[in-house]
Chains A and B, each alone.
Chain A
Amino acid sequence: MNEATPPKEERTAALSGLGTSRKRVEDARFTQGKGNYVDDLKMAGMLFGDFVRSPYAHARVKSINIEKAMALPGVHAVLTAADLEPLGLHWMPTLAGDKQMVLADGKVLFQAQEVAFVVADDRYAAADGVAAVEVEYEELPVLVDPFKAEADGAPVLREDIADQKEGAHGPRRHPNHIFTWESGDREATEAVLAEAEVVAEEMIYYHRTHPCPLEPCGCVASMDKVNGKLTVWGTFQAPHAVRTVASLISGIAEHNIRIISPDIGGGFGNKVGVYPGYICSIVASIVTGVPVKWIEDRSDNLMATAFARDYWMMGRISATKDGKITGLHCHTTADHGAFDACADPTKFPAGFMNICTGSYDIPTAYLAVDGIYTNKAPGGVAYRCSFRVTEAAYFIERMIEVLAIKLGMDAAELRAKNFIKKDQFPYQSALGWEYDSGDYHTGWDKALKAVGYDALRKEQAERVEAFKRGETRTLLGIGLSHFTEIVGAGPVKNCDILGLGMFDSCEIRIHPTGSAIARLGTISQGQGHATTFAQILASEIGIPAEDITLEEGDTDTAPYGLGTYGSRSTPVAGAATAMAGRKIRAKAQMIAAYLLEVHDNDVEWDVDRFVVKGSPERFKTMKEIAFASYNQAIPGVEPGLEAVSYYDPPNMTYPFGSYICVMEINVDTGTTEIRQFYALDDCGTRINPMIIEGQVHGGLTEALAIAMGQEIAYDEQGNVTTGTLMDFFIPTAVETPNYQTDFTVTPSPHHPIGAKGVGESPNVGGVPAFSNAVHDAFKAFGLTQSHMPHDHWRIWKTADTLGLHD
């Protein structure tokens, strides 16, 4: 007989499982300054590498003289493309099927491009070496405008592939053209638009910006020549993919490469790609025989490490006179910079931009994207978004506003009229996606009610009248946004990166005394995986979350997975965690039945134990089962209690939400104040509400930054004019408002626990909410479209152009 069993609720609470706001286990080390980031690593004999970078956006490299640099004390080596060429490492493959120079091979194609790599005793000696390398350049004409890329006489940027008519994504029509990608039915869409009662047309520009994690990118490469093993610690959002790619391009066998992602100081997509610094550090370690560290500085990061967005989206949307949308056409000119280094699944060179029909039941649609080379830094990464979903959401949420203006209809009403209805899910979109689940109207109504939408519109109308009478200089904007995300890439059948299938994994070992360790193929960059994945597991296997250690990021110990970006950790690795937990439970059931001397089917799961059906006093706790699994001979059952799951999701997940921003805008200064921001998210089953709320606050603040001031800007010569935090806007606590969060729960029908992912939703939905608020404030004075970022100067200029300063 067992002791009296505590009530179910008590035992459930003791697990800190699914749905609890468990405090983070990561915080003890971070709050005490005991995190372990890559630049914290110090090793015996370690050298430091730094780059000579191009001051020009387009130039031929006539000569590189390293003599003076090599003569400096503390400088050990200077690598140039000529040194990497014999190893075949002067160019490297990009994630998008293009190739990129590791070090300038005859020419440079963007400002701050890597030209030579100086290896020295420390970062100061390396800086001395960088200053002493003499490079002779011959300037070439610069191309910064993607719309001029295919003009007669346009400079040819990529001489290496100028004659190639076929690229990684189909035919190329010009040396500066990368690909054309199409989705949907062009002819049918043209026909719908030609016959439509109302058509609105607008160019929507989502400007070039940058993820700018607070910790820049970096690595330490260490080639151990004694045992032939290469270890690289670095800021890698996808450590396993880095190992495979490193093996393929270096020829070092994969078992001899160990990639370790230590603590990462924010990623936001910036740390998915492979950068020249990684390759050069590895080569430098092989050459010098000691560990080599490379850490970029902030300007290196902003000017050369992967940017995001830069999509010019020409839209046409058609509707009936009473506001039923009939068709959507989008042609996007995508400025990719000098190399196509987007981080997108192979079959999707424009990512999931074809989610651009958004939350709406649009029967006919067509999207075409032209990728273009310019003299700008490469990238196009998913900055807190799932592969161009931010661009898609911004596009459709602006087009809805533009259409509402054309129809003379309230934009909230227009949205509600066209939402995909609850009973239409699973919904097949015109551009080929199957939306797994949704309930848009419920959240939307809740949001409108929460902000007092009708009263706000009334106040806004009164404000406009007061402004016209000269009684105020402040306008009121109401920014609406209803986004639908597509995350959790993804089904291996259509999602891979460089041929690597986008499944993910979890491996669990239960220790004899009933605690556990779980290892995943993902890697946290602040999302709190060690906290939340333990919660999923706690609910699945009945072991308290605090007794479960979570490990990620070491390719020698963790199971293979494609990493953390595109909000894929919860949808894919979270599913793997639940599935591995279920395998543990299945074996535990057999053990429990044996111990209780009943048939397997005669026991049932009860929070943290198996109980004999109908005899609640007869049970075996998970702890007892764990001990027995190792120490008792059970006929037909292997000792131990371990499981691994490699999870290939059957579909993406489709989180959604309703965001409303109320903004005060001073017409004379262009300054803005967020009076209220209401964010309702539906990310399906909620694992840790505290962490979800934190993700929403953070994502909204990144959205605020992007919409209201953050950009990577270039002048006509291709100089980056936003290369430091003096010019590149990151909101402080002063500009950032308090956010009001809310939720509905529509579980994903195909995810084992119904979760959908949330990290990127606030950025995807937030940008249109902020931008729409600005546009909405000026709507009464004739504004239809203006370009982000809406910094003070641009807003002032908008007001000026509309004659509001007269």
Chain B
Amino acid sequence: MEKMHVKMKVNGKDVDLLTEPRTLLIHALREELGLTGPHVGCSSSHCGACTVDMNGMSVKSCTVFAAQAEGADITTIEGLGSPDELHVLQEMFKEHHGLQCGYCTPGMITRAHRLLQENPNPTEEEVRFGIAGNLCRCTGYQNIVKAILEAAAKMNEMKESA
């Protein structure tokens, strides 16, 4: 199949991919750019393990073609925090035991990050609804919800003191 150029910005860097028109965004990210944080869990938009941020919205990258991301600004888990300076959400997930096998975690944190941009002061119910597109088989969500609420509080504190 003839390949095409797709340009996008991923985690702040400009990239130019030469890929088949049918290549899914998740495979372009994982296999062509080596960003293996987002995972494939269901291939049908249900589980959210592949969640990335695209132009300020959470998308399931297993059902978006790379070609549809032409010109887009993409953020993956690799773009949130660094080993030297973890994102508050990453810290809170560890602090509150919000993960076990880790497979849903990158998508879950990426989604939570966008949720807190959309709603910096969510109630527990709003957090639960806000992450309902991301499935976790290990934790029962209780500690994930706790981690997100705690992260929201900390992020608001940081904003105030800034």
Enumerate chain B residues within 8 angstroms of A227, measured Cβ to Cβ: none
Select one of B23, B77, B143 contacting A124, CB under 8 A: B23
Interface pair B127/A724, CB less than 8 Å apart: no
CB under 8 Å from chain B, chain A span 465-498: none
Contact across chains for B41 and A28 when beta carbons are under 8 A apart: no
Q: How far is the CB of B153 from chain A (nearest CB, A)?
A: 18
A738 touches B142 (CB 8 A): yes
Decide: B37 and A734 in contact? CB cutoff 8 A: no
Taken together as a complex, chains A and B put the C-alpha atoms of A295 and B145 apart, in Å, by 31
Query: Which residues of A have CB within 8 Å of B59?
Result: none
B133 to chain A: closest residue by CB: A732
Chain B residue with the shortest CB-CB distance to A127? B22
Q: Do A32 and B83 have beta carbons less than 8 Å apart?
A: yes
In this assembly, does A702 line the interface, its C-beta being within 8 Å of a C-beta of chain B? yes
* Closest chain A CB from B161 CB (angstroms): 24
Q: Which of A124, A215, A739 has most chain B Cβ within 10 Å? A: A215
Question: Which residues in chain B, 31-50, are within 8 Å of chain A measured between CB atoms?
Answer: 31, 34-44, 46-47, 49
**What residue in chain B is nearest A212 (Cβ atoms)?**
B137
| B 17-37 contacts with A by CB, 8 A | 20, 22-23, 27, 30-31, 34-37
A701 to B138, CA, bound (A): 8
A601 interface residue, CB < 8 Å from B? no
Instruction: Assess whether A730 is in contact with B135, with CB atoms less than 8 Å apart.
Output: yes
Question: B95 CB to closest chain A CB, in angstroms?
Answer: 7
Q: Kindly identify which residue among A31, A266, A297, A701 contacts B103, using a CB–CB cutoff of 8 Å.
A: A266
**Residue picked from B20, B41, B133, most chain A C-beta under 10 Å:** B41
Within 8 A of B (CB), among A393-433: none
Q: Which of B34, B103, B137 contacts A702 (CB 8 A)?
A: B137
Docked-complex contact B135 and A37, CB < 8 angstroms: no
Closest to A384 in B: B137
A749 touches B (CB below 8 Å)? no
Q: Which of B38, B42, B44 makes the CB contact (< 8 A) with A33?
A: B38
Task: Tell me the bound Cα distance from A732 to B137 in angstroms.
Answer: 9
A781 within 8 A of B: no
Q: Are A33 and B99 in contact (CB under 8 A)?
A: no
Q: Say which residue of A42, A694, A726, A738 sits within 8 Å of B100 (CB atoms).
A: A694
B7 within 8 A of A: no
Question: Please, how many residues of chain A have a CB less than 8 angstroms from a CB on the other chain?
Answer: 56
Q: With a CB–CB cut-off of 8 A, which chain B residues contact A736?
A: 128, 140-142
How close is B119's CB to chain A, nearest CB, in angstroms? 15
B115 CB to closest chain A CB (Å) equals: 11
Q: A34-B37, A298-B44, A698-B100 are in contact. Are A24 and B94 (CB under 8 A)?
A: yes
Closest CB of chain A to B107's CB: distance in Å? 9
Q: B20 to chain A: which residues have CB within 8 Å?
A: 124
Q: Which residues of A contact B34 (CB under 8 A)?
A: 42
Knowing A298-B42, A726-B46, the reply to whether A526 touches B144 (Cβ < 8 A) is no
For the complex, give the distance between the alpha carbons of A548 and B39 in Å: 30
Closest CB in chain B relative to A619 CB, distance in Å: 35
* Nearest B residue (CB) for A701: B140
Give residues of chain B (119-146) contacting chain A, Cβ–Cβ below 8 Å: 127-129, 131-145
Main secondary structure of the interface of B (DSSP, over half): loop
A698 touches B44 (CB 8 A): no
> Could you say which residues of chain A place their CB within 8 Å of the CB of B140?
697-701, 736, 739
Which one of B99, B109, B142 has the greatest number of beta carbons of chain A within 10 Å?
A: B142
A33 touches B35 (CB 8 A): yes
Give the CA-CA distance A170 to B137 in the complex, in Å.
38
Instruction: Tell me the complex Cα distance, A37–B6, Å.
Output: 27
Query: Are the C-beta atoms of B137 and A725 separated by less than 8 Å?
Result: no
Any chain A CB within 8 A of the CB of B61?
no
Q: Are B39 and A265 in contact (CB under 8 A)?
A: yes
* Chain A proximity of B2: nearest CB distance (Å): 12
Complex: how many Å from CA A768 to CA B105? 30
Interface check A263, CB cutoff 8 A: yes
Q: Is the CB of A31 within 8 A of B90?
A: yes
Closest to A74 in B: B1
Q: Say yes or no for A733: interface residue by CB 8 A criterion.
A: yes
Q: Which of B40, B42, B86, B143 contacts A694 (CB 8 A)?
A: B143
Decide if B93 touches A27 in the complex (CB within 8 Å).
yes
**Which chain B residues numbered 71 to 110 have a C-beta less than 8 Å away from chain A?**
76-78, 81-83, 86, 90, 93-95, 97, 99-106, 109
Contact of A526 with B42 in the complex, beta carbons under 8 Å: no
Task: Point out the residue from B40, B82, B105 that lies within 8 Å of A39, measured CB to CB.
Answer: B40
Q: Judge if A538 is at the interface, Cβ distance under 8 Å.
A: no
Q: Flag B2-24 by CB within 8 Å of A: 1 or 0 each.
A: 00000000000000000010110
CA distance A725 to B137 in the complex (A): 13
| Chain A, Cβ-Cβ closest to B147 | A31
Find chain B residues with CB under 8 A from A734 CB.
128-129, 132
A26 within 8 A of B: yes
The answer to whether A30 touches B99 (Cβ under 8 A) is yes
Partner of A31, one of B27, B41, B44, B105: B105
Q: B47 contacts A214, CB within 8 Å?
A: yes
User: By the criterion CB–CB under 8 Å, are B46 and A35 in contact?
Assistant: no
A214-B104, A297-B43 in contact; A733/B132 too (CB < 8 A)?
yes
Q: Does the CB pair A33–B76 fall under 8 Å?
A: yes
> Given B40, B46, B145, which contacts A724 in the complex, CB threshold below 8 Å?
B46
Closest to B125 in A: A734
| Cβ B39 vs Cβ A39 within 8 A | yes
Q: How far is the CB of B46 from chain A (nearest CB, A)?
A: 4
Which residues of the other chain, A, contact B132 by a CB distance below 8 angstroms? Answer: 732-734
Q: Encode A567-595 as 1/0 by CB contact (under 8 A) with B.
A: 00000000000000000000000000000
Cβ contact of A697, chosen from B76, B109, B128, B139, cutoff 8 A: B139
A213 to B138 alpha-carbon distance, docked (Å)? 9
Docked-complex contact B128 and A28, CB < 8 angstroms: no
A40 at the interface (CB under 8 A from B): yes
Q: Quick one: given A31-B105, A214-B135, are A298 and B94 in contact (CB under 8 Å)?
A: no
A212→B138 CA distance, assembly (Å): 11
Contacts of B22 in A (CB 8 A): 124
A268 at the interface (CB under 8 A from B): yes
Smallest beta-carbon distance A736→chain B, Å:
5
Q: A527-B100, A739-B142 are in contact. Are A733 and B127 (CB under 8 A)?
A: yes
Partner-A contacts on B (CB < 8 A): 1, 20, 22-23, 27, 30-31, 34-44, 46-47, 49, 76-78, 81-83, 86, 90, 93-95, 97, 99-106, 109, 127-129, 131-145
Chain A residues engaging chain B, CB cutoff 8 angstroms: 23-24, 26-35, 37, 39-40, 42, 122-124, 212-216, 263-266, 268, 295, 297-298, 525-528, 690-691, 693-694, 697-702, 724-726, 730, 732-734, 736, 738-739
Q: A701-B140, A733-B131 are in contact. List 9 more A-B contacts (CB 8 A).
A: A23-B94, A23-B95, A27-B93, A33-B36, A35-B102, A214-B104, A730-B135, A732-B141, A739-B140
A-B contact pairs, 18 of them (CB 8 A): A24-B97, A24-B99, A30-B99, A35-B36, A35-B103, A40-B36, A42-B31, A122-B31, A123-B27, A124-B23, A214-B47, A265-B101, A527-B100, A694-B97, A730-B47, A732-B134, A736-B128, A736-B140
